Structure 1
Amino acid sequence: MNDYHTIEQIYSQPLEDLIQQALQAKKVFGKNDLQFCQLLNIKSGGCSEDCKYCAQSAHYRTSIEKSSLLDEETIFEAGKKAKENGATRFCLGAAWKGLSHEELKTKQICKIISKISSLGLELCLSLGFLTEKAALMLKESGLSVYNHNLNTGPNYYPKIATTHSFQDRLQTIEIVQKVGLKLCSGGIIGMGESLKDRLEMLYYLRTLPEPPESVPINVYMPIKGTPLYAQSNFSYIDLVRIIATARILFPTSRIRLAAGRKLLDESIQTLCYIAGVNSIFIGEKLLTQNNVQLETDLAWLKRLNLQKEGYTKLYS
């Protein structure tokens, strides 16, 4: 299945057959639960990169408020709250180009990791590009997982960012896996890309030495002031097909329905779960946009008679 054309054939088969194949792949994972992850934006706005979908880029005028790096205690308290809400993974994101081992902010992040590791949550960072030494520093501080999305395929990439390349993203992914961190990497659908671009993104993830520990599938959320604000080109069946294809390609990975879930009604989210999703973000807010309310998610799980990761019974 490392061949692009095989991936295309998987995606394009009759929907019922695709779903059946995805259901078989779900059995390989071995758990019929849903992972709750909570995401915290620890430094907002002012990013030097020009990603055309992102409200935090300094290149565009958006309504996002800029903020400096949050202090350790604020992040620690947010982690405690995430755990109380049922999250087993705590994800931190920051709007900047990345981390080098020589920078003060890298040492600050390592200190934060050391502090919040005591919460017993799996910790994931999404902080941009990494040098190998910076990645090692993060790992030694207690980091479990690093998120670095490919976002789309290589041919479409220059249309969503010009301050870095698709190859730059692959290089950071290579570093993450080389130092022994778990990799979280996926993409965004609905930015004007073609089906081939979406499938090429999955193809490149499939050809990595080790499959990603988790594959987030994000639905593009138009944000006023960004170049892609008026862009949207996906159907809900497109989303379900991408999720099912990802499940088949990565049977041992968490497939996360990430950003944009608020745009989906319960029936579509349920179909996404059937197709292979076993992880979601909880919390009122993602990096910049609103998310589904926790009470709504808990009611949905109860209707599905589905357990959360790390729990043996449903919430009442």
Structure 2
Amino acid sequence: MNQQNKIRNDWSIEEVRRIYHMSLLTLTYEAAHIHRQWHDPSTVQVCTLLSIKTGGCPEDCAYCGQAARYHTNIKVKPLMDVGEVIACAKRAKESGSTRFCMAAAWREVRNNRDFDNVLEMVKGVYALGLEVCCTLGMLTADQAKRLREAGLSAYNHNLDSSENYYQEIISTRNFNDRLNTLEYVRRAGISVCCGGIIGLGESAEDRIAMLHKLATMPSHPESVPINALARVSGTPLADLPKVQIWEMVRMIGTARILMPKAMVRLSAGRSEMSTIEQAWCFLAGANSIFTSESEELLVTPNPKLTEDRAMFELLGLHPFSLKENQKLDLG
């Protein structure tokens, strides 16, 4: 790609605000232009996300159906067997995924048998030639190092929202806890996957502040998931309104302009989007989606693989292969 725009980490909050508040058509045009300078607009990375340990989390994240304190219909499941996870990763690769993400509903990683098993999962998925990502909660520096040695490619730890709004949605940890884990991940040589969620009741200024924080890190996250709140019955945010597609397009377009090299991932909320609405997100710079065998993104609905195949065919999109550097067929 013709990479004319340099990477900047010195964005001012005023610059981010100006970009975010551009007219929607202008913002989408500018973001699409930058996207084409850094990426092939016809390729989208297909990632598979697997919940390897579900529910029972002691945190109080107001959006999360896996928090033990909320009365939801989510069934608590213990850590999966290593062999079962590797089998899931193999099927994901056969379906066109090049990145396999494993999520455990923990507040923090503990040095015990479960963590040893996660390390074995990472080794096994890495051996398949896939990018390996985990989201396990807070880490220590030593735990990050052990994950890197096992073959971990990336670690997901979202900011969720702005620093000012953070305590409105989570009280069992603070914003700096998030930043500390990200620092340990970066020091260990693991790429950072970090984005946020919109639709939590936050203001436009909170969204702008979150994007500013991401774009002014010493190194931009290599991966930036943009999530729309998936409303889970029984959680404090269950009755909030659906995030409008134009809000997602605005977030994705702003993220693309600020962090041109990053993979901007269209994450939670796709099940409530039409093909046309998702097309707007791709046009604005999204170049990754998540799939799942269970048609769930952790514990919330996600489109069927057949629906994604049909969408890719209609829009002329192709999943890309990291190893062969060629386009794959989703089927």
Q: Decide: shared fold, TM above 0.5.
A: yes
Describe the shift of the 1:315–1:233 C-alpha distance in structure 2 as closer, same or farther (beyond 3 A).
Answer: closer
1:304 paired to 2:315: yes
Give the Å deviation of 1:70.
0.2
Alignment size in residue pairs = 315
Where 1:5 maps in the other structure, the secondary structure is helix
Separation in 2, partners of 1:57, 1:150: 18
Partner SS, residue 98 of structure 1: coil
- Amino acid of the structure 1 residue aligned with 2:327: T
Q: Distance in 2 between matches of 1:187 and 1:231?
A: 17
Structure 1 runs of 4+ with >6 Å offset:
none
State the distance in 2 between where 1:57 and 1:18 align.
Answer: 37
Task: Choose from 50, 75, 98 the match for 1:40.
Answer: 50
CA distance in 2: counterparts of 1:235 and 1:313, whole angstroms = 32
Please give the alpha-carbon distance, in whole angstroms, between the structure 2 residues aligned to 1:233 and 1:154: 23
Q: How do 1:182-261 residues align onto structure 2 when only pairs under 5 Å count?
A: 182-232=191-241, 234-261=243-270
Q: 1:217-256, CA deviations, whole angstroms, 9 ceiling, x for partnerless residues?
A: 0110111111111123632211111110001011101111
Match of 2:88 in 1: 78
- SS of the aligned residue for 1:156 comes to helix
Letter paired with 2:15: T
- Aligned equivalents of 1:160, 1:270: Cα separation in 2: 30
**Cα offset for 1:116?**
2.2
* Distance of 1:220 and 1:234 partners within structure 2: 7
State yes or no: 1:6 paired with 2:15.
yes
SS of 1:99's equivalent in the other structure is coil
Q: Please say if 1:49 is aligned against 2:64.
A: no
- Are residue 142 (structure 1) and residue 151 (structure 2) matched? yes
| Alpha-carbon separation, structure 2, partners of 1:309 and 1:203 | 29
- Contact 1:191/1:233 (<8 A) preserved: no
1:294 aligned to which of 278, 301, 305: 305
Q: 1:190 to 1:77 in 2, by over 3 A?
A: same
Normalised to the residue count of structure 2, the TM-score between the two structures is: 0.92
Deviation at 1:314, TM superposition (A): 4.9
Q: CA deviation at 1:312?
A: 2.8
CA positional deviation for 1:176: 1.0
Q: Tell me the residue number matched to 1:21.
A: 30
> What amino acid is aligned across from residue 146 of structure 2 in structure 1?
M
Q: How far does the alpha carbon of each residue in 1:3-51 deviate from its partner, in whole angstroms, 9 at most, with x for none?
A: 1111010011122221121012102323231010000000011101110
Aligned position for 1:61:
71
2-side partners of 1:313 and 1:142: how far apart? 24
Contact 1:192 1:233 in 2 (8 A): no
- Partners of 1:285 and 1:77 lie apart in 2 by 18
Distance in 2 of aligned mates of 1:234 and 1:11: 16
- CA offsets, 1:173-227, max 9 Å, x none? 1111111100000011111111111111111111211111110001101111111
Alpha-carbon contact 2:319-2:330 (below 8 Å) kept: no
2-structure distance, mates of 1:62, 1:16: 40
User: Partners of 1:204 and 1:144 in 2: how far apart?
Assistant: 23
Matched residue of 2:281: which SS?
Answer: helix
Distance 2:141 2:28 in 1: 39
**2: CA distance, partners of 1:270 / 1:195:** 23
> Which of 123, 137, 145 is matched with 1:128 structurally?
137
Q: Which residue of 1 aligns with 2:173?
A: 164
Q: Retained in 1: the 8 A contact 2:229–2:242?
A: no
Q: Distance in 2 between matches of 1:150 and 1:27?
A: 27
Whole-Å separation in 1 of the counterparts to 2:313 and 2:134: 30
Distance 2:73 2:290 in 1: 23
Whole-angstrom CA distance in 1 between matches of 2:284 and 2:227: 15
Gap regions ≥5 residues in structure 1: none
Question: Please, which runs of 5 or more residues in structure 2 have no aligned partner?
Answer: 1-9
Moved more, 109-118 or 165-174: 109-118
Q: Deviations over 1:48-91 (max 9, x none)?
A: 11101000011111110001100101101110111111100000
What secondary structure sits across from 1:246 in the alignment?
A: helix
